[in-house]
Structures are given as C-alpha cells and as structure tokens.
Structure 1
Amino acid sequence: MSRYTPKKSDFHIICEGDTFEKIATKYGFKSAELKRINGMNKITRKDFGRRIALRKEAVCGIQGLVLDAERHPIRGIKYRICVQKLDATRKLPSSGTYDQKKEGKTGVDGLTVRIITESPRDLVDFWVWYPKEGWKLVRSGPSGYGERRITMLSPYVLVKAKTAPHEKKPGEIISPTMKEAPRYDPGKDVQVNPEGEVQAWWGKVSEKFGWRVKDTKTKEGKPVAVVTADGLDLSSLDHYTGEILSEKHFKDAADELGIEVALIKAINEVEAGSSGFMKIGKVTVPKILYERHKFHKFTNGKYTQDNPDLSYPTPYILKKGTYVKSTMKLKSISGEDVDFAYYKRYNKKTDKAEDAISGKQLLGEKVRASGVNTYAAGEENYKRLMRSQKLDKEAAYMCCSWGAFQILGEYATIMGYASAVDFGEKMSQSEAEQLKAFVLYCQKISPGIIPHMKDKNFAGIARAYNGPGYKDYNYDTKIENAYKKWSQK
C-alpha cells in the first residue's frame, strides 16, 4: 500500500453545535467510526475549532523504516507488522491475539508496507527476523494519530559480499589470523565516493554516500571482498594554522572585557580541557558537541520522525536525569501533520511523579537505544554533523558548540559572522580565533555575564554561560577551582 496523501476533504473543523451524529449524517459516515478514528467519545466546547478526521486512511497510517548503524536503509529484512484493536471498553484484549498481520521484506529504500489501523490507540508491534535468534519484537506502541513512519535503527551494518576459497599452494602455510587493514585516514585520502558497488538505496541515488563492496584480489592473487564505509569529508574544515594561545592573546581578551586573565584561562580549561582542537586521522579540527534538540528547532522538526538521533524535541538523555513521556505535533518533510511521542525532562510542577522514569532506566531498558539518545564524544560528533548537513547544512552548523569555549553556531550572525558555516570554518583556523569568538559572545550574546566575571560570582558565570542546568555538571565548582589554580601561577 503506497503512502496516502491526506486531502482537505478528509477532515472537518468542529463548530459550535456539532456532534458526532450530526457530522456523520452530513458526510455519510457512521458516528461510531468517527469516534474510533479520532479517539474521542463526544464533542465538548473545548473541541470547537479542532480538526477531526473523517477517514481512517488520513490519520491511521503507519509504516516502518529499517536503517543500519550508519543510517542507511537496509533492504531485504524480513518483518511482521501486527495490530491489536481496542475492544468495546476501549482496552486492548488480554488474549494476545492479533487482528491484523502483514509480513514481507523491506524494499531497497528500507521501508515496510504501510498499514491502516482502525484507531490511533490500536497496538502495533513490529517484529524483525534475526537469522540466529528468530523473530524479535523491536517496537511496540499505539498506532498514533497522523501519518506515521517508525524508524528502527540497527546496531549493525548489512552488506552483500561474495566469499571464495583461497587455494593453498604446495608447501604454503595459511595463517589462521587475519591482518587488519589500516584505519581509514581522512587526512590522507578523503574517500567520499570510494570504489565498489553501493549497498544502500540512498547511496545509489546520490552516488556519494553508503557502504560499498568491491571484489578484488590480494597481492598474492587471493580473492577478497573489500568493504568501504563512508569517510568523514573534513575538507571544508581543514584550515588549522597551528597558532596556539599566548599570554598576549589572553591579556588582550581580558583587557577588552575588563576581567582577570586567570578567569578566561579557567573558563577555557573547563570548556575545552587541554585544547579547543582534536585530530581525526591527520586532520586537525575544532572540538564540537552536536545538540539534536537545536537541529529539531532550526528545521521545525521536519526531520525528527525519521532521524531521532539527529533531531529531537529534547536534548540527549542523561543517566541521572528524570523524564516523562509526552506527545507533540510535527510537520513531516511532505508537510503532513504527525503525532510524535517522545521523552521530555520531568517537571515536578506540571508532571505526575508516578509517570516519571529515570534516564538510567530509559537507557538500561532500551526504551530508547542508548547509541541514538546519548551525547557523543570526539569523532562521533562529526559523524552526526556530516549526516545532518546532508539534510540542512546551515542548521547542522548552528546546532553544534564549537571550539575551546563551546559557542553555539546559532549565534554566528549576531556575533558578526556571515553564517553558521562561516563561523565553523573560522573556528577551524586557530585557538586565537576561538578566543575572539568568546569575547564577541560575552559582548553581544551574553553581556550579563561580564559583571559576574568581575565579581567572581561563579554560579552566575556558570548559569549565564552554560544555562540553568549548570548544576548537573557542577560547572560553577569546576570554574572556581580552575580559577584558583590559574590565579596562583
């Protein structure tokens, strides 16, 4: 079943005096069906102006998308989509039997068939066949209201490759161990389009990205299949000059802000550690931290449904955080309204304590896969940046914190840079450029931080620089301790 495009005639705007019976009579439907499709019993005054669906095809469609660890579609995966309908008491039956079942293999685009449920509250289970384990439940939950696509991310990469025996020559001894090939070095050879057959459909479309398999031979003439992954194309950020911060750099910045040199050094140490740069292969690039909730914000959530590791309404999950389940309306890439379920930070003023769940439980119980929903380190942040810039390059640069002082790209134009991409490229040049950005940030983005710096109000500094959640990481204590160290030198 192909993807359904809802039409204006599929919906009705509730007006004063409307009842399900009147609406059903007007359009020639049954009132019970309208109630079931919209998950409502009756219409009240608070529903005036609300849009309801007239046909289940418009809002009860659901489809699966299976991706590998590098977010490429996996074709040929055996799956089952099973549905349990709500009974007359609006509860799921306890028998565990399914009312609807579809089975098949994912297409070249990683998609399952699309099914239509009777109600947005019907339970939908997605099962996947594992060769060694058999059928495994990978997703279970309500169908939801709106045209939905459920993304299932595998921790593995599936490639199709041929194997062939290595003929043994007389007297030849074949080692039982295999020598590992040198790690791909983007500084030496940027292989954005390596040789070989593209494994993923998206790669075939773009001819740029995706795992590739090439049948070749070793120097000894032995047949071998070479599997090549996407390389990190860092050429646009390969501008490092090697210039490091000197005492003059620190003094000039401190004089411009009217604060002590030791304080700038303390903030630099807490935010960047030993340096604002790191190496990936032979390329020196600025340290970054990718923030998925920022990408969600800058792209209006249109990539969130299919890319939860890159775009999400809330930040990555912290083990010591507390969360509750919530839903929100999203606009999909095609402009359709989608109901999206997610986990947000628990608020004791507005949320019920019995609904709260700890971040440790969320990650430990794999309600949300830990690799998708936790902050990345080092090179992994660049993998997220490279993938998200395929969707929206400017937004991808805006949602990253850059360099020694971890300044968000979203502030780039306010600070005087041409764009977030321009800002990222400037941060790639030297720590001196990163220090200039810190001064601009204090002057144009957060001028309120300067009085706190002058007064040595470390809690005020941390709150202004790191946000209200600074205590989660003890930023105030870290800055104070680093300041004491540098003021003694």
Structure 2
Amino acid sequence: MTQTASEIYIVEKGDTLSQIAKTSGVPLHRLIKLNNLKNPSLLRVGQPIYLSERVAFSVKALFLDALRYPIENLAYQLVIDGKAHHGKTGKNGLSDEKVSASAKSTVEVLIKDVVGNWQKVGATVSGYGEKLITLVSPYVSFKDRLESHPPSAPTTPTSQSKPPAPPSTKPALPSKPQGSPVPNNPVVKKKSKKGKGGESVIEIGIDLPAELLKYMQAYEDKPITADDWKELAEKLECEINVLKAIAKVESGGRSAFWVINDTAEHKVHAPKIMFERHYFHNLTCANGPLPNTKKKRRHGKGVAGCKSPHDDHPDICWRTGYRKAKQLNSSDAAMHDGHVDRADIRDNRQDYLRLINAYRLNSEAALKSASWGKFQVMGANYSACGEGTVFTFVKKMCRNELGQTGLLAGFIKKNPELWKAVKEKNWHLIAYNYNGPNYKSDTDYDVKMKEAYEYYCKNAV
C-alpha cells in the first residue's frame, strides 16, 4: 500500500479494509463509519478512504464577488449541528474549516445584511469528503478592507438612520442585466429577441476583458457566401453539403455569432462558444495537461496530485465536464460535492460569464478551453488551424464567418483521419475525430450530421 496523504488513502489492487486499518492505525469500525461502507469487503481501485473526521466531514465556505474576487473581512456564521461558528474571511475569501458530527449534519451559511441582521445565504448537508461551499455575490463588489465605524454614527440602526453614502472613489458597479434571468447565475440574462441572423441576445452584468472586447469590436457582418462554401469545399476536396452539415450541427443552424450586452454603448457581436471546465482544469492542473489514460491517469477522482490551483471555483474548473439539465440534483461522485448542482449544468447562456471568470485566472488556458464559432473548433487546437497562438486564433474567430472557415480548413487538413472521413462522408469517423469518443452518448453527432447532409441534398440549399 502506498499512502498518498496522511488522512486519505487511495485503494490499490489487492487492498482490504483490514489491511488499511492495520497500516493506518485507524480501527476498522471507525473506517466503516467515516466512509459509510455498506459492505466493507467490497472496495474499488482508486476509491478514497478517509482516515479522520477532518477529511471525512470538514466544511469550508468561500465568498466571492461577481468577478470571482475573494471577499475579505466578511463576517459570517457557519451553523453546523445546531451550533453557530462565527468568524471573518481572510484575504482568500475563505471561512475557517469546521468539522461536522457526521455526513448527515446540516450546514447553514449566514452573513450580515446592511442593518446588521444575520441572513441565511446557503444551506447543504455535510456529506462525505472535504466540502467547499462557494457563494458568489451576483452584483455587489466588496472593498478589500472595511472602513472603521464612524464615532458619531449610531451603533444600532434606527428607522430614521440611513446607511452612509458610498465614498466617491468607490468603483461603479456593473449595470444590472435586462431580460429573463438564467437560473444558474443572475449575473447572466437572456433576452427573448433575436438578431437578424437568428443570434441569441445575452446580457452579462460584468464587463468583458479589454483584449477580448477589442477583438469583438472588430466584428464584420460578412456571412459565408455560396462562393465561400464552394472555395472551401474545393480546398478540402469534399462536398459542400458535408461542410454545411457540420456547421448546422455545431452551430444549431443559426448565426455563428451572439450579441452580448445589446445597448448602443456596449453592444458587441461575439462568436458562439461552449466553455469546457474540464479542459480548463486539465490545462492548469499541476500534473500537466494530459487527459486520463489506462496506462497513466493524470486527472480524475482519487488521482494523487490532481489539483488545479483554480479548483476552488468548481463551476469553471473541475475534473469532469458539465452535466445535462435533466441530471440536476442527482447524486454524482465525480462532482466536487457529490451531487449535481446548478453550477454543474451545461448552459450556453452562461458560457461567456464562465469564460470571463476563467480568463481572469488564466487567460491563455481559458481561451483554449472553449470551442469557437460556426464550426465549434476548440481553442486548444489553434496550432492545428495554422495559428501561432490561441490569441490570434480567437482574434480571427471574432472577426467574421469567413475567417472561421479558413481556420476550419486548416484544422481538417492537419487531421488526416478527419480529412479522409470528410471526403468519404464517413459520419461515424467525422463525429469521432471532431467531437471525441463520447460523441454517441452525448448527442448522436453522427446521426445528426447525416440527417443534416441529407436535408441539404434533398432541398438543394
């Protein structure tokens, strides 16, 4: 047995619970309780075995503002097993670590409102393993340091007293988004109206990063023409309708661009994207960017050292990807807290917010972790598309649809198997090389591409 941490043991082939108890010095009955083992004789390779109450039942809360900056010096309460634990957050926005009595313990998080009353902002069940409760303020940005209480101000607010006006030096808060709120995050809202190309209109309650905004402001309204499709097909030696079928499935048959913040002052056209948090985790994990393999697992539950510095933000950085909406509230051991929360759900309306928050942590990894444009090419494939950096790749993606076709051509030509499949209309291999081995269980890409191809052929579009 090789122990990977002083308080956690990862099961290896041939291990028994009795052997683990003997080696670790933790009594067998205690291991059974700490790990909720229904059948102690059945252990699976890679299963974490908790050796103490701290790792089995510990709880922390992380407080972030709308830009994912930690909120420092925030007074909080963690109410665990009916007992209130008071404290103030440090520079990292974290509460003190507390240990619950069992996995069934209730945990409530409270903070003070403007008049000093405690308000509950979150609640959960302890569960098994170290739990991090992340709470994000949708609009309010807190100052790094709280100002001293003015000597002349009353210690208890009265009906006549009003909170002091904010200092003139305080930065302006982002405007509140308009439209219907997205359930996963009120910072993002989606309007019901559509642009002339059928593009979605999305409001984000925070500003775009300056460099991304610059790319998007260079947008040109140049959709792909019939001549462009013909030239691309000739370059790739394939049928036009094969390429149109790929575009239809990847972009939903709509415009390759979305409208972000639809106001005269802030309106920009942004490429359609899909942010992938497991890419961001893999690219920022200390173990390197390699994915899991049968021979050498680099990432995943129970893998020693599989820890990105950004895993405190599991909504944008985690070992496994987002789940489908129908899986909401279901149990899932691969999630950071053992079940599927709203932050674990795939939601295209949130993709730019997730990208922006990841961009602040690691701009290059964030851009590589999204698929872009009409053909949804991953940023990580920038080199295969003929670009020297992911930044020039994104710049071209942001400019117009014609630039996106050039990137697609480079990507297909750099992948001989994909190019061969495109020329031969092998839908299985197109989907496999384009979307990975899980394409079938995800969305039946091969079937949808074939149906789209047949539609274009039949209707001579």
TM normalised by structure 2 equals 0.62
> Over residues 357-382 of structure 1, what are the superposed CA-to-partner deviations in whole Å (9 max), with x where a residue is unaligned?
xxxxxxxxxx6236x634133xx533
| Count of aligned pairs between the two proteins | 368
Tell me, yes or no, if structure 1 residue 249 matches structure 2 residue 246: no
- Residue 125 of structure 2: which of 138, 141, 145 is its match? 141
Q: 3-state DSSP class of the match of 1:197?
A: coil
Cα distance in 1, alignment partners of residues 45 and 267 from structure 2? 62
- Residue 271 of structure 2: which of 271, 286, 307 is its match? 286
* 1:319-334 → structure 2 map (5 Å cutoff): 319-320=325-326, 324-328=330-334
Tell me, yes or no, if structure 1 residue 83 matches structure 2 residue 56: no
- Residue 389 of structure 1: which of 332, 356, 359 is its match? 359
Tell me, yes or no, if structure 1 residue 306 matches structure 2 residue 312: yes
Structure 2 residue aligned with 1:340: 336
Bigger drift between 427-436 and 231-240 goes to: 231-240
Matched-pair identity in %: 25
Instruction: Describe the shift of the 1:297–1:9 C-alpha distance in structure 2 as closer, same or farther (beyond 3 A).
Output: closer
Cα distance in 2, alignment partners of residues 278 and 45 from structure 1? 50
Instruction: Describe the shift of the 1:271–1:405 C-alpha distance in structure 2 as closer, same or farther (beyond 3 A).
Output: same
Tell me, yes or no, if structure 1 residue 375 matches structure 2 residue 351: no
Instruction: Describe the shift of the 1:392–1:74 C-alpha distance in structure 2 as closer, same or farther (beyond 3 A).
Output: closer
Q: CA deviation at 1:130?
A: 7.3
Counterpart residue identity of residue 67, structure 1 = L
Counterpart residue identity of residue 170, structure 2 = E
Q: 3-state DSSP class of the match of 1:433?
A: helix
Cα distance in 2, alignment partners of residues 437 and 416 from structure 1? 7
* 1:88-487 → structure 2 map (5 Å cutoff): 98=82, 100-106=83-89, 109-117=92-100, 121=103, 123-129=105-111, 135-136=119-120, 138-146=122-130, 148-157=131-140, 196-197=169-170, 230-233=207-210, 234-235=212-213, 237-238=215-216, 240=218, 242=220, 245-272=224-251, 273=253, 275-280=255-260, 281=266, 283-300=268-285, 302=308, 305-320=311-326, 324-328=330-334, 340-343=336-339, 368-369=341-342, 373-377=345-349, 380-445=350-415, 447-448=417-418, 450-451=420-421, 454-455=424-425, 465-466=434-435, 467-468=439-440, 469-471=442-444, 474=448, 476-485=450-459, 487=460
> Over residues 99-135 of structure 1, what are the superposed CA-to-partner deviations in whole Å (9 max), with x where a residue is unaligned?
x54134545643222213456x352412325759965
- Work out whether residues 69 and 155 of structure 1, in 8 Å CA contact, stay in contact via their aligned partners in 2: yes
Instruction: Describe the shift of the 1:458–1:323 C-alpha distance in structure 2 as closer, same or farther (beyond 3 A).
Output: farther
Q: CA deviation at 1:62?
A: 2.4
Q: CA deviation at 1:65?
A: 0.9
Instruction: Describe the shift of the 1:117–1:305 C-alpha distance in structure 2 as closer, same or farther (beyond 3 A).
Output: farther
Q: CA deviation at 1:388?
A: 0.5
Instruction: Describe the shift of the 1:436–1:48 C-alpha distance in structure 2 as closer, same or farther (beyond 3 A).
Output: closer
Cα distance in 1, alignment partners of residues 10 and 326 from structure 2? 43
- Work out whether residues 117 and 143 of structure 1, in 8 Å CA contact, stay in contact via their aligned partners in 2: no
Counterpart residue identity of residue 237, structure 1 = Y
Tell me, yes or no, if structure 1 residue 66 matches structure 2 residue 63: yes
Q: CA deviation at 1:400?
A: 0.8
Cα distance in 2, alignment partners of residues 49 and 312 from structure 1? 18
Counterpart residue identity of residue 306, structure 1 = D
Counterpart residue identity of residue 299, structure 1 = T
Cα distance in 2, alignment partners of residues 389 and 409 from structure 1? 13
- Work out whether residues 240 and 284 of structure 1, in 8 Å CA contact, stay in contact via their aligned partners in 2: no
- Work out whether residues 470 and 476 of structure 1, in 8 Å CA contact, stay in contact via their aligned partners in 2: no
Counterpart residue identity of residue 251, structure 1 = K
5+ residue gaps in structure 2? Answer: 148-167, 174-186, 188-204, 261-265, 286-306
Cα distance in 2, alignment partners of residues 18 and 320 from structure 1? 40
- Work out whether residues 72 and 89 of structure 2, in 8 Å CA contact, stay in contact via their aligned partners in 1: yes
Q: 3-state DSSP class of the match of 1:127?
A: strand
State the superposition RMSD in angstroms. 4.7
Bigger drift between 270-279 and 10-19 goes to: 10-19
Instruction: Describe the shift of the 1:447–1:197 C-alpha distance in structure 2 as closer, same or farther (beyond 3 A).
Output: same
Counterpart residue identity of residue 337, structure 2 = A
> Over residues 179-235 of structure 1, what are the superposed CA-to-partner deviations in whole Å (9 max), with x where a residue is unaligned?
xxxxxxxxxxxxxxxx943699xxxxxxxxxx9xxxxxxxxxxxxxxxx95454225
Q: 3-state DSSP class of the match of 2:444?
A: helix
Structure 1 residue aligned with 2:151: none
Counterpart residue identity of residue 289, structure 1 = M
Counterpart residue identity of residue 340, structure 1 = H
Cα distance in 2, alignment partners of residues 450 and 140 from structure 1? 51
Cα distance in 1, alignment partners of residues 72 and 397 from structure 2? 40
Structure 2 residue aligned with 1:187: none
> Over residues 332-390 of structure 1, what are the superposed CA-to-partner deviations in whole Å (9 max), with x where a residue is unaligned?
xxxxxxx93345xxxxxxxxxxxxxxxxxxxxxxx6236x634133xx53332221122
Counterpart residue identity of residue 432, structure 1 = L
Pick the structure with greater CA Rg: 1
5+ residue gaps in structure 1? Answer: 1-5, 85-97, 163-194, 201-210, 212-227, 329-338, 344-366
Counterpart residue identity of residue 318, structure 2 = Y
- Work out whether residues 111 and 119 of structure 2, in 8 Å CA contact, stay in contact via their aligned partners in 1: yes
- Work out whether residues 442 and 449 of structure 1, in 8 Å CA contact, stay in contact via their aligned partners in 2: yes
Q: CA deviation at 1:311?
A: 2.0
